[in-house]
């Protein structure tokens, strides 16, 4: 960068970081003040989200960290290399504006915002990541590393197969995961040993166990607002995993008590909504907040930023490398229902199972403008739901606040129509 470009970059970076703080505080205030009956155990998660926005997350052991920008990166390998995985997929409008200038006009907000985060150096931790791992899931994400932007952090492309059912695809992915293990050892300078990987798998499984409990608690009654549930899962992207798990365990205990006292965080008589599609990531909780403001109760979601992130666990038979690495690669491939896979019948099955288990009255399908994958797959999901007589609202949106009025009208009409048929 020359002197002028450098000055322009510094101005943009300072402006975007300032806007991110304001934007995040506004969303947190909206979540905490505009709804009644907040849950004390949520305070911790609100606080982590606030620290994230301010780039003030704590790293007391000063560990090296690896940035990931999709759910498909096996974080257990990063922990086993004695580093921290920080998912930098961003939901910030300010960051999407910063990234938009570097990408074609029709790029999705999530991709714009993720590039904006990297470009303006707005990471949740003070230092920069060692590398940014980009799986070849969606085309827009995989091309990020090739954008001429002057970014000085190396990207690592994690190759993924386009399908997950064939033996060839599974073998291909297994080799990618093995290669990633070697690469992480090289980048961090730490060997991934059997015992370190075992410890990492157990650590992540504990977080997943707490999350599954949380998920189960939401089944019968709407014990917590869906917006809060999404925020909790989002904070897993960057929080200390042990602290996050212990706070979720405490929150679960609190929810159990509220449940037994029949004291709900969200009114269960309201239409029960399942959210799916392009992932809602803090601070872009525009659609979930709108649904709950309009009287819907989000009882479950099928987002890669929430339920998909934590639900499935690694199943290890023997605690040796020959079993752990294949088990890890299986878990990340088979459980994923991202529309980047063809066929993707598992997503259909998962959505139908959620509808049955969570007594869902209607589905809201979010698709970010420019995301062809979710848009294309909405056609099949909508046909499946129609067959099952489950109403679906398809919403194309982005991170800008400009469509809030239109969203309010559409979500209100959808929720009212469900209420009329309850």
Q: How far is the CB of 366 from ligand SF4 (least distance, A)?
A: 9
Instruction: Tell me which of 373, 385, 395, 418 binds ligand SF4, using CB under 6 A.
Output: 373
Q: How far is the CB of 100 from ligand SF4 (least distance, A)?
A: 13
Q: Cβ(40)–Cβ(109) under 8 Å?
A: no
Q: How far is the CB of 370 from ligand SF4 (least distance, A)?
A: 6
Q: How far is the CB of 136 from ligand SF4 (least distance, A)?
A: 9
Q: Within its chain, how far is the Cα of 40 from the centroid?
A: 23
Q: Cβ(369)–Cβ(396) under 8 Å?
A: yes
Question: What b/e string do you get for 336-352 counting C-beta neighbours within 10 Å, with b at 16 or more?
Answer: bbbbbbeebeebbebbb
Q: Up-side HSE of residue 101: CA atoms within 13 Å toward CB?
A: 13
Structure tokens that stand for 53 in this block:
């926005």
Closest to 84 measured CA to CA, from 68, 64, 57: 64
Residue 110 in contact with ligand SF4, rule: CB under 6 A: yes
> Rule CB under 6 A: which of 266-295 touch ligand SF4?
278-279
CA Rg value for the chain: 21
Region from 10-18, 214-222, 365-373, 397-405 binding ligand SF4, contact rule CB under 6 A: 365-373
Nearer to ligand SF4, 138 or 385 (CB): 138
Residue 215 in contact with ligand SF4, rule: CB under 6 A: no
Instruction: Dihedral sign for Cα 346, 347, 350, 352, please.
Output: negative
Structure tokens that stand for 148 in this block:
């001429």
Nearer to ligand SF4, 138 or 327 (CB): 138
Region from 26-34, 68-76, 166-174, 315-323 binding ligand SF4, contact rule CB under 6 A: 68-76
Contacts of 282 (CB under 8 A, 6+ apart): 24, 27, 49, 52, 91, 230, 231, 234, 235
Question: Going residue by residue from 154 to 193, which x/- string records binding to ligand SF4, judged by CB under 6 A?
Answer: ----------------------------------------
CA distance 24 to 31: 11
Q: What do you get for the CA distance between the two ends of the chain, in Å?
A: 61
Instruction: Tell me which of 27, 49, 66, 71 binds ligand SF4, using CB under 6 A.
Output: 71
CA distance 371 to 376: 9
Nearer to ligand SF4, 41 or 124 (CB): 124
Region from 103-111, 221-229, 284-292, 385-393 binding ligand SF4, contact rule CB under 6 A: 103-111
Region from 26-34, 208-216, 238-246, 371-379 binding ligand SF4, contact rule CB under 6 A: 371-379
Compute how many residues bind ligand SF4; rule: CB under 6 A: 20
> Rule CB under 6 A: which of 218-247 touch ligand SF4?
none
H-state helical runs in 145-193? 167-188
Nearer to ligand SF4, 226 or 279 (CB): 279
Q: How far is the CB of 330 from ligand SF4 (least distance, A)?
A: 17
Region from 67-75, 186-194, 294-302, 348-356 binding ligand SF4, contact rule CB under 6 A: 67-75
Residue 304 in contact with ligand SF4, rule: CB under 6 A: yes
Contacts of 336 (CB under 8 A, 6+ apart): 71, 72, 164, 304, 308
Residue 368 in contact with ligand SF4, rule: CB under 6 A: yes
Question: Going residue by residue from 128 to 147, which x/- string records binding to ligand SF4, judged by CB under 6 A?
Answer: ---------xx-xx------
Q: How far is the CB of 110 from ligand SF4 (least distance, A)?
A: 4
Contacts of 298 (CB under 8 A, 6+ apart): 225, 226, 227, 229, 230, 273, 274, 275, 288, 291, 292
Q: Cβ(300)–Cβ(225) under 8 Å?
A: no
Contacts to ligand SF4 by CB under 6 A: 70-72, 89, 108, 110-111, 137-138, 140-141, 278-279, 304, 338, 340, 368, 371, 373-374
């Amino acid at each position: 960068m020359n002197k002028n470009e450098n000055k322009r970059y510094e101005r943009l970076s300072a402006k975007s970081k300032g806007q991110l703080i304001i934007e995040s505080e506004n969303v947190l205030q909206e979540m905490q003040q505009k709804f009644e009956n907040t849950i004390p155990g949520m305070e911790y998660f609100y606080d982590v989200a606030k620290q994230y926005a301010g780039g003030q997350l704590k790293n007391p052991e000063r560990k090296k960290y690896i940035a990931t920008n999709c759910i498909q990166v096996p974080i257990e390998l990063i922990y086993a290399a004695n580093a921290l995985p920080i998912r930098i997929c961003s939901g910030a409008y300010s960051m999407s504006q910063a990234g938009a200038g570097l990408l074609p006009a029709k790029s999705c907000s999530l991709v714009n915002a993720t590039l904006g985060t990297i470009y303006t150096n707005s990471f949740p931790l003070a230092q920069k990541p060692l590398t940014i791992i980009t799986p070849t899931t969606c085309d827009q994400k995989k091309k990020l590393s090739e954008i001429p932007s002057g970014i000085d952090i190396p990207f690592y492309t994690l190759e993924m197969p386009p399908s997950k059912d064939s033996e060839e695809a599974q073998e291909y992915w297994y080799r990618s995961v093995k290669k990633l293990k070697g690469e992480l050892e090289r980048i961090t300078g730490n060997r991934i040993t059997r015992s370190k990987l075992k410890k990492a798998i157990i650590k992540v499984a504990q977080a997943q166990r707490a999350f599954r409990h949380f998920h189960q608690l939401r089944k019968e009654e709407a014990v917590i607002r869906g917006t809060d549930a999404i925020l909790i899962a989002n904070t897993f992207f960057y929080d200390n995993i042990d602290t996050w798990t212990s706070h979720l365990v405490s929150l679960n205990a609190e929810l159990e008590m509220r449940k037994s006292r029949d004291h709900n965080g969200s009114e269960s008589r309201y239409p029960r909504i399942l959210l799916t599609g392009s992932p809602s990531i803090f601070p872009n909780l525009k659609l979930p907040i709108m649904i709950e403001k309009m009287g819907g109760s989000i009882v479950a979601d099928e987002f890669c930023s929430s339920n998909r992130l934590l639900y499935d666990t690694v199943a290890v038979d023997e605690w040796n490398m020959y079993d752990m690495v294949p088990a890890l690669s299986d878990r990340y491939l088979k459980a994923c229902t991202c529309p980047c896979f063809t066929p993707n019948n598992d997503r259909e099955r998962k959505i139908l199972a959620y509808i049955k288990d969570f007594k869902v009255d209607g589905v809201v399908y979010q698709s970010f403008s420019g995301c062809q994958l979710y848009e294309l797959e909405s056609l099949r999901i909508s046909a499946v739901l129609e067959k099952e007589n489950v109403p679906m609202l398809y919403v194309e949106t982005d991170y800008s606040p400009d469509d809030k009025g239109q969203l309010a009208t559409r979500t209100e009409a959808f929720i009212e129509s469900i209420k009329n048929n309850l």
